[in-house]
Structure 1
Amino acid sequence: MSFLVIGYIAVAGLFAAVLLGCPVGLAMLLAGFFGFAGMIGLNPALSVLQTATFETASNYSFTLVPLFLLMGNLISASGVARDLFEGAQRLTRGWSGGLAAAGVTASAVFSTVSGSSLATASTMTRVALPEMQKHGYDPRLSTGSLAAGGTLGILIPPSIALLLYALITEQSVGDMFLAGILPGILAYALYVLTIIFMARIWKGAPDTVAYAETTGGALRTLQLFAPALVLFGLVMGGLYGGFFTPTEAGGAGAALALIFALFRGLRWKQLIEVARETIAATGAIFLILIGAEVFGFVLSTSQISFAMVDFVTVNQFTPWQVMGLILLFYVIMGCFMESLAMILLTVPIFFPVIMANGFDPVWFGVIAVVTVELGLITPPMGMNLFMVKGQARDLSMGTIMTGVLPFVAIDLVRLAILLAVPAITLFLPGRM
């Protein structure tokens, strides 16, 4: 049996295992190990397993992952999310659908210190949904807007997804973070416009209630946003000002987040829980990274990526047809799989094809993340829908799915804009 056939069997076995519910990291590890053993032999496969595990766990660049996770968990535990929502209410008071817009605004700001969509959706739903229910908001608008707002966590830097994409494709972390800013702002603006439009259609978003106290004015609003803005300024300013390497920026951000959390009364028990959550999330991501490293030996030895490039060339697919097929795959798989797992699973396979078709790697990274975001809120299996449902137990999943459909539609519009105008993504990296 040729190496290429064994490679195809390994890829098929990997996706079959994932669809049957096997953790992605373990599925990649097993498919990579047995695939390489079938090609080269058992002892070389054991050697690869040992080498990949050690090299991944000891890779200095990957220390960014736990540092950014720790920063987000500390900020979440310190109650900053509630302050952000209060501050956002002050900015959107009087708007049609003002509370829903405040939820998305708070999600956007919270995303600057938390690189996880699932964490953003869960945290902001817990904070904002009770207020919207209290003021009589249509549950479709409230849950749909919060599920969509959570997707900003994977795009607005510092984003764990963009970070991992940069590391596995050897792109600049700084360039990837910059590339996510304007698409993130575009997403936020389109979500707010969608909220205003749907609030008028569903007639379930009162806009005359004084949602937040006005005492303190602009100074109080700035105070509520200050922790997130200061953290974002420290990490991004230090990184682009040349004061920090990416890893040092993550360490500085985590240290400042700890100071904020202690200043706001974080207890020892809460700190232990934050550490536990960070270690668990880091372990899950590193298992995927190790699995991706092992599976990479199968891809390189079998030369599957080169075979895919040859297939595209022989069948005369245009670059945009190739891009369309890849994005369709992302949308479908994104309905069933967590975003980081999707990025780590597919990028090693698709990246050589993308490069062979002349696409910019930084631009494709953002497009891939945006498309995976779309999968996070696409019914029936979008992960963010379940995160919102976990905090809104009294609402049916059908209500949440109906509420998120307008945001799915506007995300398709945003994806089309980013595909048609690559300059939106590449402008800031090009200015550095």
Structure 2
Amino acid sequence: MDPLSIGIVGLLGVLALLALGCPVGLAMILAGGFGFSAIVGIDPALNVLETAAFEVSSNYSFTLIPLFLFMGSIAARSGFSKDLFDSSRYFSRGWNGGLALAAVSSSAAFSAISGSSLATASTMTRVAYPEMMKQGYHPRLAAGSLAAGGTLGIMIPPSVALLLYSLITEQSVGDMFLAGFLPGLLAYSLYMVTVTIMVRKWRPTAEQTKTEGTTLWVALKQLAPVALLFSLVMGGLYGGLFSPTEAAGVGAGLALVFALFRGLSWEEYREAVVEAVSVSATIFLILIGAEVFGFLLSVSQISYQMVDLIYQYNLSPWMVMIAIIIFYVIMGCFLESLAMILLTVPIFYPVVVASGFDPIWFGIIAVVTVETGLISPPVGMNLFVVQSAAKGLKTKDIMFGVIPFVMADLVRLAILLAFPIISLWLPSVFGSGSL
């Protein structure tokens, strides 16, 4: 069997193992290891397995991952989420569907220090869903706004997805974070419009527009810690005070200091550490799998053969991009977001660059499409996270509740495809290319 055929079999093998419930990292290690050994030999394959684990686990750049995850875990246990929701309620008072608007707004703010969509969705659902039910919200409106608001965590910096994309494609972390700002704000704006439209159909039956005991000063005070943390981390990063890794360390340290002042208990601290370590271990296993699988892709020449096919059949760059996006939308309904990025970007990245597209812009498009998959029925990850955090929520309600937000995401994707400057303007003006 020729190397290209072995590479294709290896790729299909990964998908088959995933369908059988095998962890993503292990699936890529098995398929990549066996495929590489079939082409090069068993001894080189064993050497790859040995060096891949060491190179990933000892890579200084990857220390950003546990640090940003720890910052989000600490923030989730220190009461920031409730303060953000209460503050957002004050600013959205008097609007129909004010609680749903507050849920999206507070999710966007929490995303700025969490970086994780799943953590944002889970944390904000526990805070906001009971209050929305108390004030007569339809479960579909409540669940849809919380599931969609949670996806903002994958785009608004610091984003773990953007971080991983920049690391595996050797793009500037700072430029990727800058590129995510405006698409993240666009998502937030479209979600707010979507909530406003949905409220006309599912109007809350007992919503109170007054915010008892909350004044402008109290609302600003509740918002201040998150704003300060975000400003120091991102301001220090782009002001040249910190490297990306140092910014992550400063963010984690400041989050811990704020949490201690707010009464963080030892048990909550232990839970945050365990969560950050366990999620980091999962991501590192996927990174090791991606490294091993990358060797198979390299020796089998899959990506380069795809580039040759593009030239052979005279396919336009936009035909290639649309095919990739369709693939992402379909696979996003079945695969976890970070796993899909690490599995597919090594395959598609050379094709995209050869087609003349900007790699930073493609990173935003890929993450936006993956983000849509997080709330795409039937198996979007955020749907299950919200359902597990919201007591009594029916599957049917959350499935129907997210459909308007999926449509909003598709509108955003079309806008970003039509106007790449939205993603590229900030990196072109403020990016250093070296962070």
TM-score clears 0.5: yes
Matched, 1:409 2:407: yes
Distance (Å, rounded) in 2 between the aligned partners of 1:55 and 1:47 = 12
> Aligned to 2:281, which of 260, 283, 287?
283
Distance (Å, rounded) in 2 between the aligned partners of 1:21 and 1:398 = 24
* 1:21 counterpart residue number: 21
Q: How does 1:77-92 map to 2 (within 5 A)?
A: 77-92=77-92
Please list every run of 5 or more consecutive structure 1 residues that lacks an aligned counterpart in the other structure: none
* 1:158 counterpart residue number: 158
Q: How does 1:109-258 map to 2 (within 5 A)?
A: 109-204=109-204, 208-210=208-210, 212-215=211-214, 217-258=215-256
Distance (Å, rounded) in 2 between the aligned partners of 1:277 and 1:391 = 16
Q: How does 1:299-318 map to 2 (within 5 A)?
A: 299-318=297-316
Counterpart secondary structure, 2:171: coil
Contact 2:137 2:202 in 1 (8 A): no
Per the TM alignment, residue 213 of structure 1 is displaced from its structure 2 partner at its CA by 2.5
Deviations 1:172-201 (CA, angstroms, capped at 9, x unpaired): 000000000000001101101111111012
Contact 1:90 1:214 in 2 (8 A): no
Which ranges of 4 or more aligned residues in structure 1 deviate by more than 6 Å? Answer: none
Per the TM alignment, residue 205 of structure 1 is displaced from its structure 2 partner at its CA by 6.1
Matched residues, percent identical?
63
Counterpart secondary structure, 1:74: helix
Per the TM alignment, residue 70 of structure 1 is displaced from its structure 2 partner at its CA by 0.4
* 1:342 counterpart residue number: 340
Letter in 2 for 1:398: K
Aligned length: 430
Deviations 1:131-158 (CA, angstroms, capped at 9, x unpaired): 1000001111110010100000000000
Per the TM alignment, residue 305 of structure 1 is displaced from its structure 2 partner at its CA by 0.4
RMSD: 1.0
Distance (Å, rounded) in 2 between the aligned partners of 1:186 and 1:41 = 49
Using the size of structure 2 for normalisation, the TM-score is 0.97
Letter in 2 for 1:300: S
Please list every run of 5 or more consecutive structure 2 residues that lacks an aligned counterpart in the other structure: 431-435
Contact 2:135 2:207 in 1 (8 A): no
Distance (Å, rounded) in 2 between the aligned partners of 1:206 and 1:416 = 37
Per the TM alignment, residue 392 of structure 1 is displaced from its structure 2 partner at its CA by 2.1
Counterpart secondary structure, 1:381: coil
Per the TM alignment, residue 209 of structure 1 is displaced from its structure 2 partner at its CA by 3.0
Per the TM alignment, residue 208 of structure 1 is displaced from its structure 2 partner at its CA by 4.7
Letter in 1 for 2:246: E
Deviations 1:72-126 (CA, angstroms, capped at 9, x unpaired): 0001011110110000000101111100000000000000001111111111011
Deviations 1:157-179 (CA, angstroms, capped at 9, x unpaired): 00000000000000000000000
Deviations 1:323-363 (CA, angstroms, capped at 9, x unpaired): 11111111111111111111111000000000000000001
Deviations 1:232-284 (CA, angstroms, capped at 9, x unpaired): 11111000000000000000000000101111111111111111111100100
Letter in 1 for 2:253: A
Letter in 2 for 1:90: Y
Distance (Å, rounded) in 1 between the aligned partners of 2:157 and 2:402 = 24
Contact 2:95 2:209 in 1 (8 A): no
Distance (Å, rounded) in 1 between the aligned partners of 2:148 and 2:276 = 24
Contact 2:179 2:423 in 1 (8 A): yes
> Aligned to 1:427, which of 425, 428, 434?
425
Distance (Å, rounded) in 1 between the aligned partners of 2:91 and 2:213 = 10
| Distance verdict in 2 for CA 1:36–1:113, change over 3 Å | same
Distance (Å, rounded) in 1 between the aligned partners of 2:310 and 2:399 = 37
